[in-house]
Every structure is written in structure tokens, then in C-alpha cells.
Amino acid sequence: MSTTSGTIERLRALQQLYAQGYQDEVVDLTLRKLFEHQIRKDEAQLAELRADLIRFEQQYGMTSADFFAKYQAGEMGDHADAFEWNVLYKMYTRLSEAVEALRTYLKE
């Protein structure tokens, strides 16, 4: 069993236990700390990605969101900068969504 699938199975087992009424303050605190740690780590990576995006935005005079829409419509060509900017923007948006999801779970 791979590490990822093992983790998923352990999380499912924990979910089932909690659904059946299991409660443990140590588990709750540990999960909270894990989420907080992951958010801090992801926010640091987001800052790095944002700096890269700003460089492209300044160079090409448009926001990353505008670039992405044009890139998806085939209006930005296939030069190396466009490809890199596209990948960076996708990474940034996916990671931003993940951080927001983790923050939401912390509020519950």
C-alpha cells in the first residue's frame, strides 16, 4: 500500500470512528496543529508563487487572471514565458483553494 493510499485509509477509519461518536481531545488538537502547520507551509509557497506571478504581470502589463483567460482562449501563443506563467498561475490557484479549504475546516 502506498503512503498516500495508506493515509487515505487511516483518515477514512478516523472519520468512521468520529461518525460513530468517538471523541479524543489529543486527536482533535493534533489535527488542528497539522492543519495550521500545513497552512503556514502553503502560505510560504504562495508568497513565492505570487512573486513569480508579479514578475510576469509587470513584464506583460496584465493580471495573471487576464493572462490565464487569454491563454485558455489560445491568444497568448506557446512561448516559454506563457507556458511557465500558465503553470505558475494554476499552481497558485490550486494552492490558494487548498489553503482556504483548510482554513474552513479549522473554523468548524
At 4 the pLDDT is 87
- pTM value is 0.84
pLDDT bracket for residue 108 (50, 70, 90): confident
Report the SS3 class of residue 23: coil
CB-based burial label for 98 (10 Å; 0-12, 13-18, 19+): middle
**pLDDT tens-digit map of 72-100:** 999 999 899 999 999 999 999 999 999 99
In 3D space, the residue among 61, 56, 47, 62 whose CA is nearest the CA of residue 92 turns out to be: 47
Q: Which residues of 30-41 are buried (b: 16+ CB within 10 A; e: fewer)?
A: eeeeeeeeebee
At 106 the pLDDT is 86
